[in-house]
Every structure is written in C-alpha cells, then in structure tokens.
A and B are shown apart, each in its own frame.
Chain A
Amino acid sequence: MDFSDPVKSKKIFILMLVLTIMFFVGAGVLGYFYYEKFKAYKSLASDKQKLEDQLRNSSTTWQKKNNDLEKDKAQLQKDKKTLQDQIAADRAKIDKAKAYLETLVYVNQLIADHGGLVGWTEAEFQEGRRIAETTGDSSYVDLVDWCWNRRDINQITRLTRFYKASTDGISSNLP
C-alpha cells in the first residue's frame, strides 16, 4: 500500500473509517439480538420453574375461626349431649314402664282365661314372674310372689295389691 500519495491515503482512511463504523454498528446489532434472546431465555426459565413448582408443590390451609360461632357451636354440642342423655334416660324409663304394663296385661289375660284367680298353673305363674323380673324391680317381683303364695286371704286383696304395685311402677317410670 502506498501512503505517500495524499489523495490515496485519504481514500484509504475514509474506507477504513466506514469499515470501522460498520463493524461497531454490526457488533451493536448482534449484541442487541443476543440480549433479546437472553431475556427470552430468562423468561422461559422462570416459567419453567413455576411449572415445576406447580408439579412439585404441596398445599396447606389455615383458618382463622369466628370465636362467637365456635362458642355457640361448643354450647350446641353440649346441649345436644345433654338432650341425648335425657332421651336415653327417658327411653330406659319407658322400657321399664312397658315391663310393668306387660306383666299387668299378662295377668289380666290369665284372669280372663281362668275366669278368676283359681286354677292357674305353676308354669303360668313362672311366666308371669319372668315378665315381672324384666322391670328390674325386686320388690315388685317379691309382691308377685306374695300374691301367688297367699291363697289364704281375700282374692280381691291379692288382686288390688298387684294392680297397685303395677300402676305405681308405670306411673313412676313415665318420663
């Protein structure tokens, strides 16, 4: 290259300048594209992470509760328990009253069958006694025994005592 010719040198200088500018502009454009790609890559990586988190996450739930409602709920549960206990106790009493009534019905049927208190068999008495035992009331069973054994006294006395004990048992066990 001949740099002694000032005209030629100037041309070469201008050419070099243009080439240099083109180089920097080109580098800038390439750099911009690289930056955009890098940004897109980062965004994709972030989305990927979110998707991975969705696949690999477990969830937990916490609740802050209304104290008044919880108190009401606790009170209602207490009331419910009280009512359930009451119902259970009432049912037990009804069952007991039914046992007295069944004894009464059974004896009444025997009276009707035999036309009075005479002619009852031991087996019939034992069945009546068994029904009386279902009341769980030993004094009632004792009275049934007494009524069966005391054939020496007025029959009406035997009968009225049995009826009274039976109706007392029913009355005292009505809820």
Chain B
Amino acid sequence: MPDPKQIFSYSGSTTAKNAKLDGTNAILWKRISGSALAITYSWSSRISGQLVESDTIFNSRYLWSYTAYTTDCGGVAGTYDVQNIGTHEFGHWIGLDDLYASADKDLTMYGYGDMAELKADTLGLGDVTGVNTVAP
C-alpha cells in the first residue's frame, strides 16, 4: 500500500541534459562553476502559484558519496553526501527557501553544506514547520 505521505516517486532515468521545463522532475549531474554544490530550478504557474516542475543539478566538480544516516558518525571524508544535499534540494521541490542565518545551521534548509555532513538527512523543527506550511 502506498505511503500517503510520499510525495515523490522514482519513474526511471532521463535523457535530459539540462534543467528545463519539460514535464519531468529531473535529477542531473553536471559541472557547475562557482561554489554551488547543487542547484534546484523550479517553475510555478503565474496564475495559480503552484509549483509545476523542479529539476536539480548536482555539481560534478565535487566528489560525492552516500552514507546511511547515523547520529554518531559523519559521511565519507572529502566528499559530499548525496542524501544530505539531496534532502535539502527536495525541500526546494516543495517550495521551501534557503536559510542563511547561523541560528538555522542545523536545519536541512540551511544554505551551506560541508563535506561528510549528514545532519540534513533528518528534518529539524523549522523544516517540519516549513513543510507543514507550504504542503499541509
């Protein structure tokens, strides 16, 4: 039985090379200049204001890894954790914005990420409040 809280589901791989409004929510890997670890592009209807599509590009300039979340240790040193950054990006998919205040540094939607960091895998109270506000 499908989880009623599940918003996204995997529909297979894509041949898309760029983030563009094409009816598919795509996750891509591409070289991005600057300090961006990942960029999410979202399109919303000017009429209804509803999000119609989101695409995320992970920056292939950096090294990436995946480590299952545990509270007592971090991810792989020298790499960025896909789930850690991905959870943040999926926050954008549902309309949450970046947070840059140091008081928000432990929240998933904090705008800066570190190597071997896993804390964004789990949501903080501020993240949950945000989700419940934009997607009740």
Interface residues of A (CB under 8 A from B): 50, 53-54, 56-70, 73
Contact = CB atoms under 8 A, between A and B. Distances in A.
A49 to B, nearest CB: 9
A65 B43 contact: no
A70 B35 contact: yes
B46 interface: yes
B43 A59 contact: yes
B97 interface: yes
B130 interface: no
Nearest to B46: A56
Interface string B11-45: 00000000001010000000000011111111111
13 contacts: A57-B46, A58-B43, A59-B41, A59-B44, A61-B39, A61-B40, A61-B41, A62-B39, A63-B37, A64-B38, A64-B89, A64-B112, A65-B37
Interface in B113-130: 113-115
B103 to A, nearest CB: 16
A50 B36 contact: no
Interface residues of B, number: 29
A127 to B, nearest CB: 57
Contacts of A58: 43-44, 46
Interface in B57-79: 62
Interface string B89-100: 100100001100
A66 B52 contact: no
Q: Which of B35, B97, B111, B112 has the most CB of A within 10 A?
A: B35
B101 to A, nearest CB: 14
Q: Which of A59, A60, A64, A73 has the most CB of B within 10 A?
A: A64
Given A62-B40, A63-B39, A68 B115 contact: yes
B42 A65 contact: no
A63 B44 contact: no
A59 B89 CA distance: 15
A66 B42 contact: no
B52 A63 contact: no
A66 B21 contact: no
Given A64-B88, A64-B89, A57 B97 contact: no
Given A57-B21, A57-B52, A65 B36 contact: yes
B111 A59 contact: no
User: Which 7 residue pairs across A and B have the least CB separation, nearest first?
Assistant: A69-B35, A67-B112, A57-B43, A63-B36, A66-B35, A62-B92, A56-B46
